[in-house]
């Protein structure tokens, strides 16, 4: 970044509100620290560029007293100190400078979110993505979001006290495509209200009882499901097959994975798994539809991995995530690898996990390091 003359920086500091509009600045001008006055409040900004004013993909991030605007194209950000007592006036300045903001992310335990939402509800017409992580909301967030953000497509709520009836309100009033709930007070009774527009559902450590959701009636058109729980087993897999038969992408994160013989969904193409332990490894029906398998092997044994590879005989892409210094290729695991006749791509995140010698081997168009013992796989 080129240095600017001190006199030029001081001149900018003294500029009036109209003169400090970002659109009036020269192209490709960045300031490590650029201060300007508005509404008698001092805002500290960094990395300001004219080109930002011409784009619409901005993200607002609020953390207690700091708001960060991130330009998704350049990844440069503007950090602005927010005074909670004067936040409405300061937000007014933000939306004056960035009228086409599309993404809002709020991480706070004390920020007056409800006040801001209502104060600026007429300026959120371009907002399509909202992410909120807070445990200090004292209002019905479902109704407020539905009223203030009529055009959002992606909503993420973490540590928010939101019950099923509020989730249903959101699903009925908005055309959501993605919904993420983390540590929410939902039992899953909102699931029947999921519209055909929703393509991705993420639930982490919610109070959902999967067995109770089997009686909801019509099957739904969800495409991707991400679940994070302590134990995942028979109830979940039966729910998956009966309620979401159109799912093509599944992401499971759990401490214990069991009853895989109940996993019979035949349309899943992409499967990601992070599990601490796999139980009940007996007869199962191979899932031939799965083409891509990502697995975290940090806590899995060699037998666990061999078992999983046998479940997905037609995979074309295999990605190992995580590492374990005790991990090695047993005869059973080697045989499981050799049975993967359609494998085209295999990658590992940490080559140090193996004790065997390596060779460079070509899978399709990609050269990767693999243990020499597996050179006969292809």
Q: Which residue has the higher pLDDT, 170 or 29?
A: 170
What's the confidence (pLDDT) of residue 318?
Answer: 86
What's the confidence (pLDDT) of residue 135?
Answer: 66
Tokens of 71: 């330009």
- The tens digit of pLDDT for each residue in 119-154 reads 788 888 888 888 887 766 655 777 888 888 889 999
Task: Please list the residues that pair with 77 across neighbouring strands.
Answer: 70
Which of these, 34, 10, 33, lies nearest to 21 by C-alpha position?
34
Q: Which residue has the higher pLDDT, 172 or 120?
A: 172
Q: Which residue has the higher pLDDT, 127 or 348?
A: 127
* Domain ranges (residues) in the chain: 52-326
**Mean pLDDT value across residues 206-222:** 76
- The tens digit of pLDDT for each residue in 27-46 reads 333 232 233 323 323 333 33
Tokens of 208: 């959902």
What's the confidence (pLDDT) of residue 185?
Answer: 80
What's the confidence (pLDDT) of residue 41?
Answer: 36
pLDDT bin (cut points 50, 70, 90) of residue 226 is: very high
For residues 268 and 248, what is the distance between their CA atoms, to the nearest angstrom? 4
**Mean pLDDT value across residues 233-259:** 90
Kindly state the percentage of the chain with pLDDT values over 70.
Answer: 59
What's the confidence (pLDDT) of residue 48?
Answer: 39
**Mean pLDDT value across residues 172-182:** 93
What's the confidence (pLDDT) of residue 30?
Answer: 29
pLDDT bin (cut points 50, 70, 90) of residue 241 is: confident
Q: How far from the centroid of its chain's Cα atoms is residue 42's Cα?
A: 34
Considering the entire predicted model, what is its pTM? 0.75
What's the confidence (pLDDT) of residue 368?
Answer: 42
**Least confident among 108-117, 244-253, 314-323:** 108-117
pLDDT bin (cut points 50, 70, 90) of residue 252 is: very high
Q: Which residue has the higher pLDDT, 35 or 114?
A: 114
For residues 169 and 121, what is the distance between their CA atoms, to the nearest angstrom? 18
pLDDT bin (cut points 50, 70, 90) of residue 108 is: low
Q: Domain spanning 52-326: which superfamily?
A: Ribonuclease Inhibitor (3.80.10.10)
Q: What share of the chain is helix, strand, coil (3-state, %, to 5)?
A: 30, 30, 45
Instruction: Indicate the helix (H) or strand (E) that contains 56.
Output: none
Q: Which residue has the higher pLDDT, 323 or 295?
A: 295
Contact status, residue 108 vs residue 136, Cβ threshold 8 Å: yes
**Mean pLDDT value across residues 166-174:** 89
Q: How far from the centroid of its chain's Cα atoms is residue 250's Cα?
A: 14
What's the confidence (pLDDT) of residue 303?
Answer: 85
- The tens digit of pLDDT for each residue in 46-89 reads 333 444 444 445 566 665 555 565 555 554 555 555 555 666 76
- The tens digit of pLDDT for each residue in 272-304 reads 999 888 887 666 778 899 999 998 877 788 888
């Amino acid at each position: 970044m080129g240095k600017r003359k001190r006199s030029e920086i001081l001149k900018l500091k003294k500029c009036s509100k109209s003169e400090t509009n970002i659109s009036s600045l020269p192209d490709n001008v960045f300031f490590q620290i650029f201060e300007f006055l508005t509404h008698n409040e001092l805002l500290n900004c960094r990395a300001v560029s004219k080109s930002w004013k011409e784009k619409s993909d901005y993200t607002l991030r609020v953390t207690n007293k700091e708001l960060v605007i991130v330009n998704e194209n350049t990844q440069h950000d503007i950090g602005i100190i927010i005074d909670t007592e004067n936040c409405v006036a300061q937000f007014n300045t933000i939306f004056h400078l960035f009228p086409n903001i599309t993404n809002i992310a709020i991480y706070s335990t004390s920020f007056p979110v409800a006040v801001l939402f209502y104060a600026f509800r007429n300026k959120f017409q371009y907002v399509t993505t909202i992410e909120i992580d807070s445990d200090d909301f004292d209002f019905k967030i479902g109704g407020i979001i539905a009223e203030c953000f009529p055009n959002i497509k992606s909503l993420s709520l973490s540590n928010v006290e939101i019950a099923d009836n509020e989730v249903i309100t959101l699903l009925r009033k908005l055309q959501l495509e993605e919904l993420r709930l983390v540590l929410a007070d939902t039992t899953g009774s909102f699931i029947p209200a999921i519209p055909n527009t929703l393509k991705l559902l993420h639930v982490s450590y919610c109070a959902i009882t999967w067995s109770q959701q089997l009686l909801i009636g019509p099957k739904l058109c969800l495409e991707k499901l991400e679940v994070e729980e302590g134990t995942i087993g028979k109830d979940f897999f039966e729910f998956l097959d009966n309620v979401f038969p159109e799912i093509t992408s599944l992401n499971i994160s759990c401490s214990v994975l069991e009853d895989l013989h109940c996993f019979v969904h035949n349309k899943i193409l992409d499967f990601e798994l992070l599990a601490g332990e796999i139980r009940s490894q007996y007869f199962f029906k191979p899932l031939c539809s799965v083409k891509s398998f990502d697995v975290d092997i940090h806590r899995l044994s060699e037998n666990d991995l061999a078992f999983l590879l046998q479940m997905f005989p037609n995979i074309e892409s295999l990605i190992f995530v995580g590492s374990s210094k005790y991990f090695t290729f047993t005869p059973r695991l080697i045989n499981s690898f050799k049975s993967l006749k359609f494998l085209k791509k295999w990658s590992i995140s940490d080559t140090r996990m193996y004790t065997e010698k390596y060779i460079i081997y070509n899978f399709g168009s990609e050269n990767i390091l693999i243990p020499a013992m597996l050179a006969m796989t292809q």
